[in-house]
Amino acid sequence: MPEIAVFATDIHGEIQDYEKVLEAAGGKNVRAVIIGGDITPFLSVIGDIGTYQREFMEFYLIPRLKEFRKKTKKDVFIMMGNDDLKINSDVMKRGEKQGSFKLINQKVHKIGRKYIAGYSFINEAPFLLKDWEKDEKDIRKDLNKLAKLADPGKTIYCVHAPPLGTNLDVLFTGEHVGSSAIREFILEKQPYLTLHGHIHESSRMTGNWRDVLGETVCVNPGKGNILVFDINDLKVMEVVY
Ligand SMILES: [Zn+2]
């Protein structure tokens, strides 16, 4: 029996996209949903962005995922990204306590017979919000710590920023803007699979949502697109739009 996981990232509070993901995740063989950061709406034109994002989580995201879990018994893994204000982490922690999902940033959980680990921080970028930025040296340190919690060869890493110099980190300008620490980490530890986001347009720019570093398959499906893959057989993998 295949054990399918559904991954989406950079949904930025688009309810239509969340509903699309949950519909794709409703299938019989789907075991888990993974949501990879930048979960709440972009900067608000009305009022305070922190409050706006908090209310989105409290009134839509958390109850919706709780309902999905209750109905389907599937696992939901989620983390914040660089556009989700860190001040609202407490709301997400409360959501986890209510059983709506499991938070994965800098943590490891079981996903079928494999593991899943997450990492929200990005390498330095000229964006407005600095909550989730770190320098490459610190990113590398954090990832090494994470690698001690479970065998990388059996772990799916959901890392918001993509590795530098791949199909997954190309900006609309054509420039590669991924993280060198993430690239080195993947090359050295050779994880089972890595899932990325952050650079929404990279797959459009390169014509490729997938790359390989050493033996490790790395994916960035692009904003709001859905990656469907077999947890135990990575040859089975596609992006649905
Ligand atoms: Zn984003």
pLDDT digits (tens, 9 = 90+) for 136-191: 999 999 999 999 999 999 999 999 999 999 999 999 999 999 999 999 999 999 99
Identity of the residue numbered 201: E
Say if pTM beats, i.e. exceeds, 0.85.
Answer: yes
Q: How far is CA 11 from CA 28, 164, 180, 190, 226, in A?
A: 24, 22, 25, 28, 10
pLDDT at 16 over 70: yes
CA–centroid distance, residue 234 to ligand 1 (Å): 25
pLDDT at 35 over 90: yes
The token pair that represents 192 in the structure block: 């089972």
The Cα–Cα gap between 13 and 218 comes to: 25
**What is the pLDDT of the chain when averaged over all its residues?**
95
pLDDT in tens, 209-241: 999 999 999 999 999 899 999 999 999 999 998
Q: Which residues surround ligand 1, an ion (CB under 5 A)?
A: 10, 38
The Cα–Cα gap between 134 and 16 comes to: 32
The Cα–Cα gap between 53 and 71 comes to: 26
CA–centroid distance, residue 1 to ligand 1 (Å): 34
CA–centroid distance, residue 160 to ligand 1 (Å): 9
CA–centroid distance, residue 197 to ligand 1 (Å): 7
The token pair that represents 49 in the structure block: 């962005």
